Chains A and B, each alone.
Chain A
Amino acid sequence: MEIKLQPATNYERKRFYKEEWNVKQVPDFIIDSLTSREFGFDHYGQGPNDRYKIFPDALRLKRFMKVKQPFAAYCSVAFYDKPKQRKGWKQSELVFDVDAKDVPIRTCDCKEGEVCDKCLNQAKDIVLMIKDVLKEDLGLKNINMIYSGRGYHVRVLDESVMTSSSDLRGQIVQYVIGAKEPDLSNSMGFTNLQHFIIPYGYSKNFTKWSKYTILHLNEKSKLDNVNVKLLKDTLKFRYFLEDDQWGMFRGNIGPIRFNKLISAVARTNMSITDTKVSIDLKRILRLPSTLHSKVSMKSTLIKNIETFDPFDDAVPQFVYERKD
């Protein structure tokens, strides 16, 4: 059955919360810190304006959801001493928000603001790459991946990063998504050093993301400072990158134009996730288990990202029962 990402009706939403939603589906990492978090709700589809809510236990959360059946439900990534006043900030999850509609180089034919299975898959690939860097490079372990309805959230709860400042989070994001050109200046006097000849550290990561971005470009792609001719040549010679022959690719593009392209790619990489979400210490994020009413999908904690398919694992029952 083809799943249409269309808004849920009021009736469908009510049915979802009455029959399908279960407080036990709220992830443990939220339930375990329930009393420290601020909750926010959108009751009419106009944004989350019912904020500063708290729940002393899962039972009260359950009652609230069953009675209010909100259009959207959110909870803070921050832990507070007094969540009702958003005071006494203690720590915040480190979050990466990958929205399929905002992936910078989309290969599908979606209109602006829309998503399809192709761009959702692309978002999933990105999430997998993010997870790898978080684990392999940064050594983080408590990484939770959530399907948000129109993309993915990566929520990191390692104590060692939860007290980080906004500035440090900004640096972590830049590292994880390869959003900054590597600093290759050195005291050895090597002036022609390239990121792709360094097979470790951030350079390796940057090379990996740059390859991803370049391989996803198409004739319609728009990159700052990259003119039609350079884009055309990039597409023409990018087959070298499939075998990691960066030297050949650079040789064919030309060193000056290569630098121009790489700077543009670094800036494009910056839009892979919503950086504002990552550096905001007091953000609220969609509560996993609840309904994304604009697309009729269920925000879901992912147990196995390799096998997860939103169109199998995050579709509410009422969608299957729709007549049209």
Chain B
Amino acid sequence: MIKNSFINPFSNDAKEIVSNLGQIENLDKENETLITIINYTRGQLFGHEMNLPKTLKQLAEKKFEWFLSKKSDKFNDKEYEYLFNPEIYEYDIVSFYLLCQAVAIGFGPDSREAKQVVELERDLIDQRLERLKAEPNDFQSNFLRTTLNQLIDTNNIYWTDLKDVIEMGEFDLNNLLLSQGRLIIEYEDFIEEYGDLIQHRDPRSMYEVTGGLDFKSKLLKSIIMLHTKQYIQTVAKMAERMVEPNPLMDNLAKNLKKIQEKAQEQKYGSRGKSTFNDNQPVSYEIEAFPPCVRKCMQGIKSGGRNDAIVLFLTPFISYARLYPGIFSEDKNMKISEVDHSLDITLNEVIPMIYDAAEACSPPLFKDQPQEKININSKLGFGMHSDLKIDHEGETQWYTPMSCEKIKLHMSNLCTPNVDCKKIGNPLTYYNRKRKLMKRNNKHNSSQQVNNNGN
């Protein structure tokens, strides 16, 4: 029997579990039952190098390791099979709270680590729910209904009650079935609301296609993510009043940092040199520019000139030349880190942006010369008319906005082509296209060599 707490750490019985198992002195002690559960997990891979968790603190660390190393080439999911054994639920809950508290105290609620723990929980639930699909439909349906109802009233909830959940971005407002603001989640409500509208089709299938189990799973995940985020915020607030954090939390936070560094090494170490090729200035390859950038460079006729040049084109043109690989790393950059003398910026980046501004109708700087200052500001050099290294850091070097944002802010710029479907940011489009062009060039030249008979 799978317990709700296996999926939802905020379930009613979770609190009880925490009070029984969560005494601080037990968290770093070997736990026989935990070891037994892991040893008897079907499909679990064993080995010395794996260091299977023996304590609740180690279980928390292992979960973090699982999340961070998932994308590496060396990752083997069978090493972490125990995380998906429903019998582990009690220890899983305690380790969840332990993780949340450690990142809240050690790194704060807005830290990268806090974000990672929220995403970790999402991925864990996701995979657990995926395995739940092996169960009969009725079981899944009842399970999801009970689990969700411990968090919200699924027969009587309004979309505005879930605003924070929607804002987390796990699903769109467009995916909700709404009637007078009420969210239609359960089948009986669906039939009552839309039954009369459905003709020549099976209502049950229509429900499953447009809502049903899939939607409930997504909703559940998002609500738990939100609760996790809020819990970390609460702990961080309480921790401000703490004189000295518990050494165990302190130690766990330090270990999480080490795991993070190791995962980073693995991630980049396993990819070979090509990953780093984009993390230095590279010449422009105009042919690889996405349609929105090309359109903007040809000049904007009326309305939206400022946003197009300053907010959209400036970040793209600067990163495309100086650091196209920005999205492969999770860090804030300064232009001088890659263009020490600002030679490239002044001689290539700025002229290209100014050319596009000149091509606007009317030319952007003709009636709005102050936009030159805004361009400097978006490059990270503060609100100054001259671009000087002394001012760098007064503002941030803006990263190129996503396709979603472009559609909202400058919908007239977005005329997607086939390649756009595969990416979510113009800079990613540029990098992908450059790689493809490079590959094609190589292919063509080797073919030419063959054709010449050499």
**Size of the chain B interface, CB-CB below 8 angstroms:** 42
Contacts of A263 in B (CB 8 A): 416
Q: A183-B175, A200-B197 are in contact. Are A279 and B163 (CB under 8 A)?
A: no
CA distance A179 to B198 in the complex (A): 24
Tell whether, in the assembled complex, residue A275 and residue B411 are in contact, meaning their CB atoms are under 8 Å apart: yes
Tell whether, in the assembled complex, residue A167 and residue B167 are in contact, meaning their CB atoms are under 8 Å apart: yes
Q: Tell which of B181, B302, B411 touches A270, judged by Cβ atoms closer than 8 Å.
A: B411
CA distance A284 to B306 in the complex (A): 18
Which A residues from 194 to 212 make CB contacts under 8 A with B? 197-203
Q: Tell which of A136, A164, A199 touches B163, judged by Cβ atoms closer than 8 Å.
A: A164
- Interface: B450 (CB within 8 A): no
Chain B: minimal CB distance from A231 (Å): 16
Contacts of B407 in A (CB 8 A): 179, 267, 270
- Interface: B16 (CB within 8 A): no
* Segment from A24-32, A137-145, A313-321 that makes contact with B: A137-145
Contacts of A164 in B (CB 8 A): 163, 167
* Segment from B96-104, B201-209, B282-290 that makes contact with A: B201-209
- In the complex, the chain B residue whose C-beta lies closest to that of A180 is B174
Tell whether, in the assembled complex, residue A161 and residue B214 are in contact, meaning their CB atoms are under 8 Å apart: no
Q: Which residues of B are at the interface with A, using a C-beta cutoff of 8 A?
A: 158-160, 163, 166-167, 169, 172-182, 193-194, 197-198, 201, 205-206, 208-210, 213-214, 302-304, 307, 407-409, 411-412, 414-416
Tell whether, in the assembled complex, residue A200 and residue B194 are in contact, meaning their CB atoms are under 8 Å apart: yes
CA distance A41 to B281 in the complex (A): 46
Which of B163, B182, B408, B409 has the most chain A CB atoms closer than 10 A to its own CB? B408
Q: Tell which of B166, B209, B415 touches A168, judged by Cβ atoms closer than 8 Å.
A: B166
Q: What would 25 A/B residue contacts be, using CB atoms closer than 8 Å?
A: A136-B179, A137-B179, A137-B181, A138-B178, A139-B182, A140-B181, A160-B160, A160-B163, A161-B163, A163-B163, A164-B163, A168-B163, A175-B174, A180-B172, A183-B172, A183-B174, A183-B175, A186-B208, A186-B210, A186-B214, A188-B209, A199-B197, A201-B178, A203-B210, A225-B415
Contacts of B214 in A (CB 8 A): 186-187
Contacts of A158 in B (CB 8 A): 160
Chain B: minimal CB distance from A276 (Å): 6
CA distance A20 to B180 in the complex (A): 40
Tell whether, in the assembled complex, residue A171 and residue B411 are in contact, meaning their CB atoms are under 8 Å apart: no
- In the complex, the chain B residue whose C-beta lies closest to that of A276 is B409
Tell whether, in the assembled complex, residue B167 and residue A165 are in contact, meaning their CB atoms are under 8 Å apart: yes
Q: Tell which of B158, B169, B174, B307 touches A182, judged by Cβ atoms closer than 8 Å.
A: B174
- Interface: A252 (CB within 8 A): no
The 8 closest A-B pairs by CB, nearest first: A139-B181, A160-B160, A199-B197, A270-B411, A139-B180, A171-B173, A224-B415, A202-B174
Seed contacts A137-B180, A138-B159, A193-B209; 9 additional CB < 8 Å A-B pairs:
A161-B160, A164-B167, A171-B174, A174-B408, A188-B208, A198-B210, A199-B197, A201-B178, A267-B415
Contacts of A275 in B (CB 8 A): 408-409, 411
Tell whether, in the assembled complex, residue B175 and residue A202 are in contact, meaning their CB atoms are under 8 Å apart: yes
- Interface: A11 (CB within 8 A): no
Chain A: minimal CB distance from B107 (Å): 24
- Interface: A48 (CB within 8 A): no
Tell whether, in the assembled complex, residue A168 and residue B167 are in contact, meaning their CB atoms are under 8 Å apart: yes
Tell whether, in the assembled complex, residue B210 and residue A172 are in contact, meaning their CB atoms are under 8 Å apart: no
CA distance A301 to B379 in the complex (A): 43
Contacts of A190 in B (CB 8 A): 209
Tell whether, in the assembled complex, residue A188 and residue B181 are in contact, meaning their CB atoms are under 8 Å apart: no
Chain A: minimal CB distance from B422 (Å): 15
Q: Which residues of A are at the interface with B, using a C-beta cutoff of 8 A?
A: 102, 112, 135-140, 158, 160-161, 163-165, 167-168, 170-175, 179-180, 182-183, 186-188, 190, 193, 197-203, 224-225, 263, 267, 270-271, 275-276, 279
Tell whether, in the assembled complex, residue B411 and residue A267 are in contact, meaning their CB atoms are under 8 Å apart: yes
CA distance A175 to B178 in the complex (A): 11
CA distance A48 to B193 in the complex (A): 48
CA distance A267 to B415 in the complex (A): 9
- In the complex, the chain B residue whose C-beta lies closest to that of A137 is B178
Chain A: minimal CB distance from B416 (Å): 8
Contacts of A161 in B (CB 8 A): 160, 163
Tell whether, in the assembled complex, residue B193 and residue A200 are in contact, meaning their CB atoms are under 8 Å apart: yes
- In the complex, the chain B residue whose C-beta lies closest to that of A280 is B409
Q: A167-B167, A188-B208, A188-B209 are in contact. Are A136 and B180 (CB under 8 A)?
A: yes
Contacts of A160 in B (CB 8 A): 158, 160, 163
Contacts of B163 in A (CB 8 A): 160-161, 163-164, 168
Tell whether, in the assembled complex, residue A139 and residue B198 are in contact, meaning their CB atoms are under 8 Å apart: no
Contacts of A140 in B (CB 8 A): 181
Chain B: minimal CB distance from A182 (Å): 6
Q: Tell which of A175, A225, A276 touches B173, judged by Cβ atoms closer than 8 Å.
A: A175
Chain B: minimal CB distance from A303 (Å): 23
- In the complex, the chain A residue whose C-beta lies closest to that of B205 is A188
Tell whether, in the assembled complex, residue A172 and residue B173 are in contact, meaning their CB atoms are under 8 Å apart: yes
CA distance A62 to B163 in the complex (A): 38
Tell whether, in the assembled complex, residue A271 and residue B412 are in contact, meaning their CB atoms are under 8 Å apart: yes
Tell whether, in the assembled complex, residue B174 and residue A139 are in contact, meaning their CB atoms are under 8 Å apart: no
- In the complex, the chain B residue whose C-beta lies closest to that of A187 is B214
Chain A: minimal CB distance from B210 (Å): 6
CA distance A202 to B194 in the complex (A): 13
CA distance A139 to B179 in the complex (A): 7
CA distance A112 to B193 in the complex (A): 44
Contacts of A187 in B (CB 8 A): 208, 213-214
- In the complex, the chain B residue whose C-beta lies closest to that of A138 is B181
Contacts of B411 in A (CB 8 A): 179, 267, 270-271, 275
Contacts of B178 in A (CB 8 A): 137-139, 201
- In the complex, the chain A residue whose C-beta lies closest to that of B190 is A200
Q: Tell which of A171, A197, A276 touches B201, judged by Cβ atoms closer than 8 Å.
A: A197
CA distance A75 to B159 in the complex (A): 29
Chain B: minimal CB distance from A260 (Å): 11
CA distance A164 to B303 in the complex (A): 26
- In the complex, the chain B residue whose C-beta lies closest to that of A223 is B415
CA distance A204 to B194 in the complex (A): 12
Contacts of B198 in A (CB 8 A): 199
Tell whether, in the assembled complex, residue B206 and residue A171 are in contact, meaning their CB atoms are under 8 Å apart: no
Chain A: minimal CB distance from B302 (Å): 8
CA distance A102 to B213 in the complex (A): 42
Which of B160, B208, B412, B415 has the most chain A CB atoms closer than 10 A to its own CB? B160
Contacts of B302 in A (CB 8 A): 112
